[in-house]
Structure 1
Amino acid sequence: MDLKQFFLEKLEREIAVTRKAIERVPEGKNDWKPHPRSMELGYLAALVAEMLGWIAFMVERDSLDLGDPASEGFKTRARESKAELLEALDKGVARSRAALEATTEEHLKKNWQFKMGGQVISDLPRYVMLTDAVFSHLAHHRGQLTVYLRLNEEKVPAMYGPSADEFH
C-alpha cells in the first residue's frame, strides 16, 4: 500500500471515532476546565473537531509559522454548539480528503516545516508530520476530551475498544 492510500484509509477510520467524541460534547460548558492550567472544554472540543482538517493544510503548503499573522485563520476558536463543531469536522475532512486524493507519493515524502516566529521547530517528511502532528496528536487530544466528558457526567464513546458506557 502506498502512503496516499494509507492516509486516506486512516482518515476514514478517524472520522468516525472523532465524530463519536464530538457528538458527546455538552453544550453550554465551553468555559469549563478541570484545572486552572487545562484547556477550556470549548477550545479542546474545537481543536479535536478541526485537527483532521490540518491534513489539507499540510499537503497543500510547505510550512506553517504560528508566529506569522498570515496563520491567523489556522488558529482554533471555540464553537457555540455541537452542530458548529460537527460542521467544522465535516468541512475539514472534505478538504483533507480532496487534498490527499490530489497528492502524490513523492509529495508526501517531501519535508514540511512547523515554525514559531520564523524559527523552525520541526522539519520532517510530510508523511511523518501527518502521522505525528495530526493522527497521534489527535488521539492525544481526543483522549483528553473523553476525560472532560467523563468529568461532566457524559457517556464516553467506545473508540478503539470497549467503553464502560457502551459495553458492560
Structure 2
Amino acid sequence: MSMAEYLLAEFESQAPVTRKFLERLPEDKLTWKPHNKSMTAGQLAYHLAFVPGGVVQGAQKDQIPPPGFQFPQPASVQEILEAFDKSIATVREVLPSFDDATMNATWRIVDGDKEIAAMPRAAFLRNIMLNHWYQHRGQFCVYLRLLDVPVPSSWGPSADERSALQPELQTA
C-alpha cells in the first residue's frame, strides 16, 4: 500500500465520524462561542469542514506562503456540510495522485526568502490534514457538550453514544 493510499484509508474511516459531529450543530448556535477569544461554533465547524481539502490542495505545491487564518462565519449548517462534501471530494481526487516519491519530497512554507517550515509532504499531510483535523474535532466536541448537544462517539464511546465496538453504553 502506498503512503497516499494509507492516509486515504484512514481519512475515509474518519470522514463519516466528522460529518456526524458537524450535523449535530444546532442551526441557532452558529454564532455562539464559549469565550471571547474563541471562534464561533459556526466558524469552528466550517474550519473543520474545510481543513482536509484545503490542506491537500496546498500539498499539491512544493511550497506555499504562510496560511492566513481567516475563519468565515457560515450562514447555515447546510453551508458547512456543503463545504465538507467539497473538501471530501477534493481529498479523494487529489491524494491518490501522490506517489511515494512525491510523498517523501520536501514540502515547504516560505515567506518571501525565509523558510518557515520544511518537511516531507507525507508528514505535512499526516500532521495537518489528519492530526490538525482531529484536534479541531475534539475542540468541536467540547463546543457541543457546552451547548448540551449529545456528543457522537468517535474512536470510542462518548457519554451520550456508544461506539460500534461497545455493545452497551456504560453508565456511572
How far is 1:56 from its partner?
Answer: 2.6
Backbone CA RMSD of aligned residues: 1.9
Q: In 1, are the aligned partners of 2:43 and 2:73 still within 8 Å (CA)?
A: yes
Name the residue aligned to 2:158. Answer: 163
Distance 2:56 2:19 in 1: 18
Q: Match of 2:116, SS?
A: strand
- Counterpart of 1:139? 134
Once structures 1 and 2 are overlaid, which stretch shifts more, 115-124 or 141-150? 115-124
Rounded to whole Å, the distance in 2 between the matches of 1:153 and 1:95 is 33
CA distance in 1, matches of 2:159, 2:19: 18
- 1:54 equivalenced with 2:54 (yes/no): yes
Q: Secondary structure at the match of 2:118?
A: strand
Offset at residue 42 of structure 1 (A): 1.3
Q: 31-40 or 87-96: which moved more?
A: 31-40
Q: Distance in 1 between matches of 2:46 and 2:113?
A: 26
What secondary structure is seen at the aligned counterpart in 2 of 1:28?
helix
TM-score, structure 1 as length reference: 0.88
Q: For residue 78 of structure 1, report the CA deviation from its aligned partner.
A: 2.4
Q: CA deviation at 1:117?
A: 6.5
Aligned to 2:100: 105
CA apart distance, 1:7: 1.3
Count, aligned residues: 163
User: TM-score w.r.t. structure 2 length?
Assistant: 0.86
Following the alignment from structure 1 to structure 2, what is the Cα–Cα distance between the partners of residues 141 and 115?
25
| Corresponding residue of 1:152 | 147
Q: Is the 8 A contact 1:59 1:108 kept in 2?
A: no
- 1:128, distance to aligned residue in structure 2 (A): 0.3
Cα distance in 2 for residues equivalent to 1:53 and 1:124? 19
Structure 1 residue 119, shift from structure 2 partner: 3.9
CA distance in 2, matches of 1:55, 1:66: 12
The farther-off stretch of 34-43 and 53-62 is 53-62
Q: Quote how far apart the aligned CAs of 1:4 are.
A: 1.5
1:82-97 to 2 correspondence within 5 Å? 82-97=77-92
Counting aligned pairs with the same residue, the percent is 36
In structure 2, relative to structure 1, the CA distance for the partners of 1:119 and 1:22 (3 Å cut) is farther
Matched, 1:31 2:26: no
Say which one has the larger Rg: 2
Structure-1 residue corresponding to 2:19:
19
Q: Which amino acid aligns with 1:57?
A: Q
The answer to whether the 8 Å contact 1:50/1:89 transfers is yes
User: Deviations along 1:90-125, whole A, 9 cap, x unmatched?
Assistant: 111111111112221111111112245664321100
Unaligned runs of 5+ in 2: 163-168
Deviations 1:120-149 (A, max 9, x none): 321100000111111111111100001000
Deviation readout 1:24-71 (Å, 9 max, x if unpaired):
11113222111122222111110101111134313321222136xxx7
